[in-house]
Amino acid sequence: MRNEQVPVAGADAQLFLYKKVNIFLFDLKNEAKEHGFKAGESWHLEMAAENEIISLKRTHHPVISMKLKPEVLLPIYIELKKRMQQPVNKSEVEMATTDLIRDEKQYLAAYPARIQRK
């Protein structure tokens, strides 16, 4: 993945967010089709640190991930949850970029609920 500059505000920021969300949704749709998802099956969506991604990949298959800068990770995560019709809880909405930096969250990760590696 290229190291892109993150627009700070305005129409460029909205376009950046829109593109990243659509790329992630496209990847989820393709993986769901490839792995035989049935109607009603869904993805778990998480913000994760490097060590958490490694753990997720050991225990779940497939894991779709995207590395993002902290200032765009939360808005993209919230938009994805909305588009995937998943509830966004209060603690997620109230989270700040400094929380993500402190917790070393830099990945957006999705994995299916039904498939777990043994």
Reading the chain (118 residues) residue by residue, the pLDDT tens digits are 444 556 556 788 889 999 999 999 999 999 999 988 887 788 999 999 999 999 999 999 899 999 999 899 999 999 999 999 999 989 888 888 899 999 999 999 999 876 555 5
Tokens of 9: 């505000």
Total-model pTM: 0.84
What pLDDT, on the 0 to 100 scale, is given for residue 97? 86
pLDDT at 116: 56
Long-range contacts of 86-95 (CB under 8 A, 24+ apart): 86/42, 86/45
